[in-house]
Amino acid sequence: MNSIKQQISAISQTLPERVRLVAVSKFHPAETIMEAYRAGQRLFGESRAQELSAKAASLPSDISWHFIGHLQTNKVKHVVSVAAMIESIDSLRLLEAVDHEAQRQGRTVNVLLQVHVAMEETKFGFTPDEIIEYFTGRKFEQLKATHICGLMAMASNTDDPARINDDFARVAELFRRIITIAPDLRGFTELSMGMSDDYPIAISHGATLVRIGSSIFGPRQY
């Protein structure tokens, strides 16, 4: 396999200017992240609270960390204190816990709402209807220290590009609909979708953040 630097550079060349690369470093050690850092990468994605805390404490402070995994409410404290963005807000309960903790820490936290459109059954993520209800009811006005910057989604885990295309199209449509429902919503601009195997399709549907792990770092050692 090519070096991490070569992979980052090859992927970056295919990204339109509006798209930022989140290098998903979960399960990879700090030395591996430093290799990407030396290649100029500053935005990384982690999916476990403890792993994020440990890495953030030992790696350069100009790294931006995006949290992308399921977050339990009892770990919100650690993630709010280090993450530049929590992409995986998957319930109202979690959103409230994050807002409460951000207030307590005296900071504002940037988040994305995770939408579930994939065909797999999962208990994580809002349905498109729940998202529409949230914005129609203007519930975001209750947030005191949380800024909703957009949506995050994963496509179905399938080799069928038509299905993946449909999933991303639905998320993109939902994103545009929210903007018409709440045109006064500020800074609702991020659409995080696309991973190693499907990011070109996500970009064709307007992704602004792509979360790429294995294509950069190789397979994960669980």
Task: Name which of 90 and 107 has its Cβ closer to ligand PLP.
Answer: 90
Q: Name the closest residue to ligand PLP (Cβ).
A: 213
Task: Name which of 90 and 101 has its Cβ closer to ligand PLP.
Answer: 90
3-state secondary structure the chain: CCCHHHHHHHHHHHCCCCCEEEEECCCCCHHHHHHHHHCCCCEEEECCHHHHHHHHHHCCCCCEEEECCCCCHHHHHHHHHHCCEEEEECCHHHHHHHHHHHHHHCCCEEEEEEEECCCCCCCCCECHHHHHHHHHCCHHHHCCCEEEEEEEEECCCCCCHHHHHHHHHHHHHHHHHHHHHCCCCCCCCEEECCCCCCHHHHHHCCCCEEEECHHHHCCCCC
Cβ atoms 114, 90 nearer than 8 A? yes
Is beta strand 20-24 parallel, antiparallel or unpaired with respect to 109-116?
unpaired
Task: Name which of 64 and 214 has its Cβ closer to ligand PLP.
Answer: 214
Task: Find the shortest distance in angstroms from Cβ 49 to ligand PLP.
Answer: 14
Task: Name which of 68 and 172 has its Cβ closer to ligand PLP.
Answer: 68
Task: Name which of 9 and 103 has its Cβ closer to ligand PLP.
Answer: 9
Task: Find the shortest distance in angstroms from Cβ 137 to ligand PLP.
Answer: 27
Task: Name which of 64 and 105 has its Cβ closer to ligand PLP.
Answer: 64
Task: Find the shortest distance in angstroms from Cβ 113 to ligand PLP.
Answer: 14
Task: Find the shortest distance in angstroms from Cβ 124 to ligand PLP.
Answer: 10
Residues making contact with ligand PLP (CB under 6 A): 24, 26, 47, 68-69, 154, 195-197, 211-215
Task: Find the shortest distance in angstroms from Cβ 187 to ligand PLP.
Answer: 22
Task: Find the shortest distance in angstroms from Cβ 67 to ligand PLP.
Answer: 10
